[in-house]
Structure 1
Amino acid sequence: MHKKTRLGLVLSAAVAPIIAVTLPAPTAGAHGWINSPASRQDQCKTGVVSCGDIKWEPQSVEGPKGQNNCHGGVGRFAELNDDSKGWQRSNISANQTFTWTLTARHRTSTWQYFVGNTKVAEFNDGGAQPGATVSHNVNFGSIRGNQKVLAVWNVFDTANAFYACVDVNIR
């Protein structure tokens, strides 16, 4: 092998790792779902309800902000909108703690909780980066009975949010 060719290969091999380390890392996407009380994603993940892809990706229900559905507009997770799928209801009190599991933390504007078209709670994080779990105590006021709670995690620095639905019986 020619000396210049060999020198070029050696230099390339030495410089490539340095370049790779100094390049900016891609930004981690925000991912999360409610695991307590068990959301529809969590019921899929744990096998309580038979589901498709969401079983492997409970954290991936991400879509544009402002939606009012369980699947965040992600077509392959549309089964999360199917109210007849056999979702188990959790018996909860009018003051209930909801806990999110976050697999990738991302700066947060707000966390919102809805029953139907009524926003029952909002928590403003003002752009703070959450920890690996986040809990909120939601007061449902006079709302009682079988309800579907839509929880929304609004990301601070993107146009997206994460969505989770929780089937509950508020006592």
Structure 2
Amino acid sequence: MHKKPSIQRKLAALAGVALAPVLVLGLTATPANAHGWVTNPASRQDQCARGVVQCGEIQWEPQSVEGPKGLKDCAGGNSRFADLRDDSKGWHVTDVGSSTTFTWNVPVKHSTSTWQYFIGDTKLAEFDDGGAIPPDQVSHHVDFQGFTGKQKVLAVWNIADTANAFYACVDVNIGG
């Protein structure tokens, strides 16, 4: 013999069906590992976050371009942020002189070994923080050492107490 489901059972079942997607999304969502990125001149991930250039997931996580130290990769070796490697995306290029100041936004601090700036394989500058915890914003004045024209600068924040670094690429027009 089958009993008819009570109204309370029907309501409980409907509530369970309605809440299931919310619970699944909430339990499987990966929390953003907020750390830091270059905001001035605007890095590629900053341009994505502000909607200047249309990008994938990086638009919601400009601070998360983290990967092993020693890479020369705008995406920090992270395939989720491959848009940052695409030189044809129409990145805004900032006119600068023979030097400029790069400013990092640092919402979550890490003990810092060094900050480095590269054009290609040429290291332009390195700033040693000796394990210090950075403030909310960090600025470095970088000389472009004879480079001119449109260049892609790779900015690297090396963390002192892990094997990782944070990466940001900035498109500049030196002498522009």
Same fold flag (TM > 0.5): yes
Q: Which runs of 5+ in 2 are unaligned?
A: 1-32
TM-score, scaled to structure 2:
0.80
Instruction: Please name the residue that 2:80 is paired with.
Output: 76
What is the aligned partner in structure 2 of residue 14 from structure 1?
none
Counterpart CA distance in 1 for 2:46 and 2:34 is 17
Partner of 1:126: 130
**Hey, what does 2:71 align to over in structure 1?**
67
Kept in 1, the 8 Å contact 2:117–2:124? The answer is yes
| Number of positions where the alignment pairs a residue of Structure 1 with one of Structure 2 | 143
Write the mapping of 1:1-171 to structure 2, written as runs, cut at 5 A.
31-171=35-175
Superposed CA RMSD = 0.9
* Structure 2: distance between partners of 1:93 and 1:69: 25
Divergent runs of 4+, >6 A: none
Q: State the distance in 2 between where 1:125 and 1:68 align.
A: 21
Residues 18-50 of structure 1 deviation map (CA, whole Å, 9 limit, x = unaligned): xxxxxxxxxxx6610000000000000000000
Cα shift at 1:93: 1.1
SS in 1 for 2:58: helix
Point out the structure with the larger strand share.
1
Contact 2:34 2:61 in 1 (8 A): no
Question: How far is the alpha carbon of 1:95 from its aligned partner?
Answer: 1.6
- In the alignment, structure 1 segments of 5+ residues that lack a partner are 1-28
The one-letter code of the counterpart of 1:155 is: I
**8 Å contact 2:69–2:163 — kept in the other structure?**
yes
For the 8 Å contact 2:93–2:171, the answer to whether it is kept is: yes
Q: Is contact 1:61-1:71 (8 Å) kept?
A: yes
